[in-house]
């Protein structure tokens, strides 16, 4: 499981998919989310606008499992 720091209150699933490198563009992220068996906190998820907050665990097939944390300046 890889930690991922969230700046601000939340990040969307589509943004996370792009930031971890599972997709390069918004269109690719949309297609990835539609076709992959993504799980958020153990539940299936396919909404790219899903708000993810620190404490959530996101499983991205082929890209890894991410534990969302609060952003720290050490991650910059």
Helix (H, G, I), strand (E, B) or coil at 59: strand
Instruction: Give this prediction's pTM.
Output: 0.90
Task: Give the span between the Cα atoms of 41 and 75, in whole angstroms.
Answer: 23
Residue whose C-alpha is closest to residue 36's, from 52, 14, 55: 14
Exposure class string for 39-72: b at 16+ Cβ within 10 A, else e? ebeeeebeebebebeeebebbbeebeebebeeee
Tens-digit pLDDT profile for residues 11-67: 999 999 999 999 999 999 999 999 999 999 999 999 999 999 999 999 999 999 999
Q: Answer for the pair 30, 73: CB distance below 8 angstroms, yes or no.
A: no
CATH number of the structural domain 2-75:
3.10.290.10
């Amino acid at each position: 499981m890889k930690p991922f720091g969230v700046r601000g209150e939340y990040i969307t699933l589509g943004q996370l998919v792009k930031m971890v490198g599972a997709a390069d563009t918004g269109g690719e992220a949309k297609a990835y989310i539609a076709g992959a068996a993504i799980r958020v906190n153990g539940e299936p998820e396919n909404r790219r606008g899903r708000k993810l907050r620190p404490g959530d665990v996101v499983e991205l097939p082929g890209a890894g499992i991410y534990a969302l944390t609060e952003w720290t300046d050490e991650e910059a």
